Chains A and B, each alone.
Chain A
Amino acid sequence: MSNKSMSDMKKSTVAVIDYGMGNLHSVAKALEHVADENTTVIVTSDPAVIDAADRVLLPGVGAIRDCIGEMNNAGLVPSIRKAMAEKPFLAICVGIQSLMSHSEENGGVDCLNHFQGNALFFGEKHTDHDGSKLKVPHMGWNQVKHTINHPLWADIPDNARFYFVHSFYVVPENKSEVAGTCDYGLEFCVALARDNVFAVQFHPEKSHKDGLQLYKNFLHWDGKP
């Protein structure tokens, strides 16, 4: 057997990082739904398991202070940084915000600073381009425009709708890291990409076929842009 087919047969693991912020059921179920028989999905808070995994998914729900606090309490930050340095890594929802330098939420919280820039609040008086009132949180299905070609966008139509629930949005300093945008009163970044790290503001696990396709793309991604 050649080396190539050996590696094709290889068992692969994806670690879904559990840092005590609750519901990871739907993330894990969606990954399992698209995983082939050689791929194992592990929900874990064990740094050793994260270090050993072939790819890592950082979910996020709730408020940023608790997220960063729990990551620190659980001793997960070194493993998260290590994974971001060397293997396919996907961050979801509050996960994308946690990778920024800073968030306005909870009176201001310093984050992991993988992407330079901040997470800002839409504000309770957010308005559309014509001045009409927009609800906050931004909740529901909105269109995602691809601003770059990327393996994680494979087989996903440009402007497909994904499910969002959030009140804060990320503003990266380096615009070349923006992989996708969305319009809600303003055009804002909903996907970031650099090397082997991809991060999205929406919830692929709640976004029906296109969301499942993004997870499938992640499971097949070699980490190259």
Chain B
Amino acid sequence: MGLAKRIIPCLDVDNGRVVKGVQFVDIRDAGDPVEVAKRYNEQGADEITFLDITASSDDRETTVHMVEAIASQVFIPLTVGGGIRTCEDIRRMLNAGADKVGINTAAVFNPEFVREAAQRFGSQCIVVAIDAKKVSAEGEPDKWEIFTHGGRKPTGLDAVEWAKKMVEYGAGEILLTSMDRDGTKNGFDLGVTRAISEAVHVPVIASGGVGNLDHLVDGVIEGKADAVLAASIFHFGEYSIQEAKQRMTDAGIEMRL
């Protein structure tokens, strides 16, 4: 009895199609976002994350319409991220039916934006997305740094300290992506996941690197994640959400079945 850990399939959407990049570069088509969201809803996904990876101004309207279409048919929580830079962006996405918004780069360049957004809309709908890479060498104490622009630009910010600061500013949840692992199918970076989950009092979603169902189990048990996010293992039919939940349940994790 108690709160279940969550499985969150992520739709990376480019020009109106679900895609999945390996290390954010190589792109494969995985279908129409509304259809994909409905399929995951039927399979028992606990939430859905919609990440707009084009984020050019032309495509914003497309995103708003897709969010509306998903929210009219899928009655589980929906987070929308990608290109959220102003309170007006947040308002539009919430009005379209999103329950939460993910703020990434804009938080790095203007941390006050997170504070303003949390005050205006409530922490419950502000997810701060953190893209981290391990920067410590072998033999050194572990250290992770925040990167922007799909993992290309270092910021000099320590990932654990940054997560604590974002929570202090009003983040209601942290979406943590390991840029070293994203798309590799080698599993989450459990070290940074655990370090951040233990450092903050809000839920942490582990992301980046899931290649099999044991990785999801590891993310919760060893990484102490409250939720696990994955894309390609679900998109291309390798595993269903039910199979993932069953594996996690078998490992002793409380899930919603």
- Which residues of A are in contact with B by a Cβ distance under 8 Å? 22-23, 25-26, 29-30, 33, 61-63, 124-126, 128, 133-143, 159, 161, 163-166, 183-184, 203, 205-208, 211-212
Which of B97, B123, B202 has a CB less than 8 Å from the CB of A135? B202
- Evaluate contact between A22 and B121: CB separation under 8 angstroms: yes
- Evaluate contact between A142 and B173: CB separation under 8 angstroms: no
Q: What is the CA–CA distance of A141 and B76 in the complex, to the nearest angstrom?
A: 10
- Which chain A residue lies CB-closest to B2? A183
- Evaluate contact between B201 and A136: CB separation under 8 angstroms: yes
- Evaluate contact between A140 and B226: CB separation under 8 angstroms: yes
Q: List 24 A-B contacts (CB under 8 A).
A: A22-B91, A23-B98, A23-B99, A25-B68, A25-B94, A25-B95, A25-B97, A29-B72, A33-B75, A61-B125, A135-B201, A137-B123, A137-B172, A137-B202, A139-B172, A140-B3, A140-B227, A143-B2, A165-B77, A166-B124, A184-B3, A206-B99, A208-B41, A208-B76
Q: What residues of A have a CB within 8 angstroms of the CB of B122 in the complex? A: 61-63
Which of B1, B6, B96, B124 has a CB less than 8 Å from the CB of A61? B124
Q: What is the CA–CA distance of A66 and B5 in the complex, to the nearest angstrom?
A: 31
- Which chain B residue lies CB-closest to A22? B94
Which of B75, B91, B201 has a CB less than 8 Å from the CB of A30? B75
- Which chain A residue lies CB-closest to B96? A25
Q: What residues of B have a CB within 8 angstroms of the CB of A135 in the complex? A: 201-203, 226
Check if B185 is an interface residue, CB within 8 A of chain A: no
Interface centre among A30, A62, A135, A206 (most CB of B within 10 A): A135
Q: What is the CA–CA distance of A140 and B147 in the complex, to the nearest angstrom?
A: 28
Q: What residues of A have a CB within 8 angstroms of the CB of B227 in the complex? A: 140
Q: A164 CB to closest chain B CB, in angstroms?
A: 8
- Evaluate contact between B95 and A163: CB separation under 8 angstroms: no
Q: What is the CA–CA distance of A15 and B41 in the complex, to the nearest angstrom?
A: 28
- Which residues of B are in contact with A by a Cβ distance under 8 Å? 1-6, 41, 46, 68, 71-72, 75-77, 91, 94-99, 121-125, 172-173, 198, 201-203, 226-227, 256
Which of A136, A141, A183 has a CB less than 8 Å from the CB of B4? A141
Question: By DSSP majority rule, is chain B's interface helix, strand, loop, or mixed?
Answer: loop
Q: B74 CB to closest chain A CB, in angstroms?
A: 9
- Evaluate contact between B1 and A26: CB separation under 8 angstroms: no
- Evaluate contact between B172 and A163: CB separation under 8 angstroms: no
Q: What residues of B have a CB within 8 angstroms of the CB of A203 in the complex? A: 77
- Evaluate contact between A207 and B75: CB separation under 8 angstroms: yes
On whether A139 and B46 interact (CB within 8 A), knowing A23-B94, A206-B99, the answer reads: no
Q: B199 CB to closest chain A CB, in angstroms?
A: 11
Q: B222 CB to closest chain A CB, in angstroms?
A: 15
Known A-B contacts: A137-B202, A140-B46. Give 5 more (CB < 8 A): A23-B99, A25-B95, A62-B121, A62-B122, A165-B77
Q: What residues of B have a CB within 8 angstroms of the CB of A62 in the complex? A: 121-122, 124
Q: What residues of B have a CB within 8 angstroms of the CB of A205 in the complex? A: 75
- Evaluate contact between B203 and A206: CB separation under 8 angstroms: no
Q: B166 CB to closest chain A CB, in angstroms?
A: 15
Q: What is the CA–CA distance of A141 and B2 in the complex, to the nearest angstrom?
A: 9
- Which chain B residue lies CB-closest to A205? B75
Q: B25 CB to closest chain A CB, in angstroms?
A: 33
Interface centre among B71, B96, B198, B256 (most CB of A within 10 A): B256
Q: B176 CB to closest chain A CB, in angstroms?
A: 14
Which of B4, B124, B202 has a CB less than 8 Å from the CB of A142? B4
- Evaluate contact between B76 and A163: CB separation under 8 angstroms: yes
Q: What residues of B have a CB within 8 angstroms of the CB of A128 in the complex? A: 2
Q: What residues of A have a CB within 8 angstroms of the CB of B68 in the complex? A: 25
- Evaluate contact between B99 and A26: CB separation under 8 angstroms: yes
Q: What is the CA–CA distance of A207 and B72 in the complex, to the nearest angstrom?
A: 14
- Evaluate contact between B46 and A141: CB separation under 8 angstroms: yes
Interface centre among A26, A126, A128, A137 (most CB of B within 10 A): A26
